[in-house]
Amino acid sequence: MKTGKVFLVGAGPGDIGLITVKGLEAIKQAEVILYDRLANPKLLEFAPADCELIYCGKLPDRHTLRQENINDLLVAKALEDKMVVRLKGGDPGVFGRVGEEAAALADYQIPFEVVPGISSGIAAPLYAGIPVTHREYAESFAVVTAHDKSKDGKPLLHWEGLARGVDTIAFYMGVGNLPFICENLITHGKQANTPVILIQWGTFGRQRTLQGTLADITAKVAEAKFSNPAIILVGEVISLREKISWFEKKPLYGRQIVLARTGESPSQLAKELQEQGADVIEFPKWKKTAVPVDLEKASAYEKILFASPESVGEFFSALVENRVDIRNINADFFGASVKTIKALNERGFCASLAAEMPDSGELLIIGDDSILKNKPEYGDTLVTSKKVVDSQFFPIFKRMLEEAEVNTMVFPSSAAVEPFFEALKECEIDAREFFKSLHVICMGKQTMAAVETAGLKQAEMPEKATKQALIALLAGKPFVAE
């Protein structure tokens, strides 16, 4: 009987750029992914379109799937001869229960690999401006679970060893036990004025920090209603934060943005916003299915207009599949956008924007099935794929909204407006409730008109419809929900 293979992958602490190359390659090849609450759901977008996604999210007070069920599911999917990825937040070997899952696979002689990830206990402090070790402040570092299998959930630790022998201590998921932690560290030798910082959602744009001392941090946490997921860091090295904090100084730090999505490919706009410190949730997620392409008459046209960057790749793939030599096609190439022109340039073709296309000459428009809806007054069409909203991501989107505190909505084009509202409806999300406290940004006058037609009257536009102008608007005008 054939069996598949399981990759036990560390997703890193949240920022998707922190996943390892090997971990990302495993996701790209996966047929099944079992993912945790603390693994950034944006990583799932790198999976193949037909990949089965299974949520195993755990909260301190409840489990979607218990560990035994997860173990059984890993075995069952592998025995179906599937390539399975178990995606865990942080590093799977640091309180990730990877040993239990690996042992279950070994019992069935199922091949597996463990792919390490960046641990939150190190990454979250660095994003808060704190190295966990430093020659002057901290020559030792410990990671400690703050919630274990003891009867009352209080960690059974060697408190004297921690308090007297370790300079920097990172407690994982310990907000509920914070009073117990502080009391025991003071009782066993730590000074009451030892610095403490809590880092919630470390490395995400929604990262929050709360600083105090062992003596007063419990009261501060209660007043701020601070909650998990959070790393509790204890040690004198925290004093470096004021000087070397960097992430929270990014221009878009604190912006939690929903970006209306129109294409299947990763958005460069989303990437730029993230690099500037924002949290970005793209919605809806699209997927494409190929359709048979008839290229018999393609050589008869004088102009070919590509409707999207994706249509360029689909057209050239169809040429290869149908054994059609590109040299037999004599048409001038045009693109509907700058990104489409770039896709053509990368294949060695000098193309022009659609606005520069002459009126004369036979025209062929190439793209997904949306070109049938938006077909111009003249020209023939060649559909290379069908684009549909991926409903598998609806529950993922709803969970992302629950975890975040979205304050900004960006519509990059007029074509993004109607599909976004339709997808909200399919998610059973009330649009009026969703938008009532959001700063809505439209990229251009046509987009603004489409948004107003949809019923939103208080949208705003950047000075120009560019990434730089959008970032300047978002960075220069802090938005506070009423």
Q: Which of 15, 42, 58, 400 is catalytic?
A: 58
Convert 330-343 to b/e letters by CB count within 10 Å (16 or more is b). Answer: ebbbbbbeebbbeb
CB 123 within 8 A of CB 130: no
pTM for this entry: 0.86
Domain extents for the chain?
5-117, 122-245, 256-285+390-476, 288-388
pLDDT at residue 373, rounded to an integer:
75
pLDDT at residue 482, rounded to an integer:
40
pLDDT at residue 370, rounded to an integer:
83
Give pLDDT tens digits for 435-451: 999 999 999 999 999 99
User: What percent of the chain is modeled with pLDDT above 70?
Assistant: 95
Close Cβ partners of 127 (under 8 Å, ≥ 6 residues apart): 13, 15, 199, 202, 203, 207, 247
pLDDT at residue 150, rounded to an integer:
65
Please state which of the four CATH numbers 3.50.50.60, 3.30.950.10, 3.30.750.24, 3.30.70.360 is assigned to the domain occupying 122-245.
Answer: 3.30.950.10
CA distances from 218 to 12, 189, 211, 227 (A): 28, 18, 10, 12
Lowest mean pLDDT among 148-152, 283-287, 305-309: 148-152
- CATH fold, domain 5-117, is Cobalt-precorrin-4 Transmethylase; domain 1 (3.40.1010)
Q: Is 173 a catalytic residue?
A: yes
Q: Is 81 a catalytic residue?
A: no
pLDDT at residue 375, rounded to an integer:
65
Q: What is the pLDDT averaged over residues 212-237?
A: 96
Report the distance separating Cα 193 and Cα 100, nearest Å.
39
- Residue 345: exposure state from Cβ atoms within 10 A (0-12, 13-18, ≥19): middle
Alpha helices in 198-308 (DSSP H): 217-224, 241-244, 268-275
Q: Where are the beta strands (DSSP E) in 57-140?
A: 58-59, 62-63, 83-88, 112-115
pLDDT band at 58 (very low <50, low <70, confident <90, very high): low
Tokens coding 315: 């057209």
Report the distance separating Cα 129 and Cα 210, nearest Å.
13
Q: What is the pLDDT averaged over residues 76-86?
A: 97
pLDDT at residue 148, rounded to an integer:
64
The residue among 344, 353, 367, 357 whose CA lies nearest residue 262 is 367
**Beta-strand pair 112-115/58-59:** unpaired
Close Cβ partners of 419 (under 8 Å, ≥ 6 residues apart): 260, 262, 284, 389
Phi, psi of 346, deg, nearest 5: -65, -20
In the block, tokens 């560290």 appear at: 185
Q: What is the pLDDT averaged over residues 133-159?
A: 85
Q: What is the pLDDT averaged over residues 172-186?
A: 94
pLDDT band at 362 (very low <50, low <70, confident <90, very high): very high
Shared fold status for 5-117 and 122-245: no
Does the domain formed by 256-285+390-476 have CATH 3.20.20.370? no
The answer on pLDDT for 240 being more than 80 is yes
Q: Which of 36, 91, 279, 368 is catalytic?
A: 36
Q: Is the peptide bond before 284 cis (omega within 30 degrees of 0)?
A: yes
pLDDT at residue 444, rounded to an integer:
92
**How many CA within 13 A on the CB side of residue 446?**
7
Phi-psi group of 303: left, alpha or beta (phi > 0 → left; psi -120 to 50 → alpha; rest → beta): beta
Q: Which of 42, 77, 88, 173 is catalytic?
A: 173
Radius of gyration of the chain (CA): 26
pLDDT at residue 481, rounded to an integer:
44
The residue with greater pLDDT, 63 or 128, is 128
pLDDT band at 337 (very low <50, low <70, confident <90, very high): confident
CA distances from 11 to 66, 73, 118 (A): 20, 19, 8
Give pLDDT tens digits for 95-116: 999 999 999 999 999 999 999 9
- Say which DSSP state 472 is in: H
The answer on pLDDT for 401 being more than 90 is yes
pLDDT at residue 103, rounded to an integer:
97
Q: What is the pLDDT averaged over residues 350-357?
A: 92
pLDDT at residue 100, rounded to an integer:
96
Q: What is the pLDDT averaged over residues 152-161?
A: 84
pLDDT band at 479 (very low <50, low <70, confident <90, very high): very low
Q: Is 58 a catalytic residue?
A: yes
Number of H helices, E strands in the chain: 17, 22
Close Cβ partners of 362 (under 8 Å, ≥ 6 residues apart): 300, 301, 302, 303, 380
Highest mean pLDDT out of 163-172, 262-271, 334-343, 376-385: 163-172
Q: Where are the beta strands (DSSP E) in 153-207?
A: 168-172, 195-200
The answer on pLDDT for 480 being more than 70 is no
The answer on pLDDT for 312 being more than 60 is yes
CB 230 within 8 A of CB 199: yes
pLDDT at residue 374, rounded to an integer:
67
Q: Considering the domain 288-388 in this protein, what is its CATH number? A: 3.40.50.10090
* Inter-helix orientation angle 467-476/268-275, to 10°: 40
CA distances from 473 to 345, 462, 464, 467 (A): 31, 6, 10, 10
pLDDT at residue 378, rounded to an integer:
76
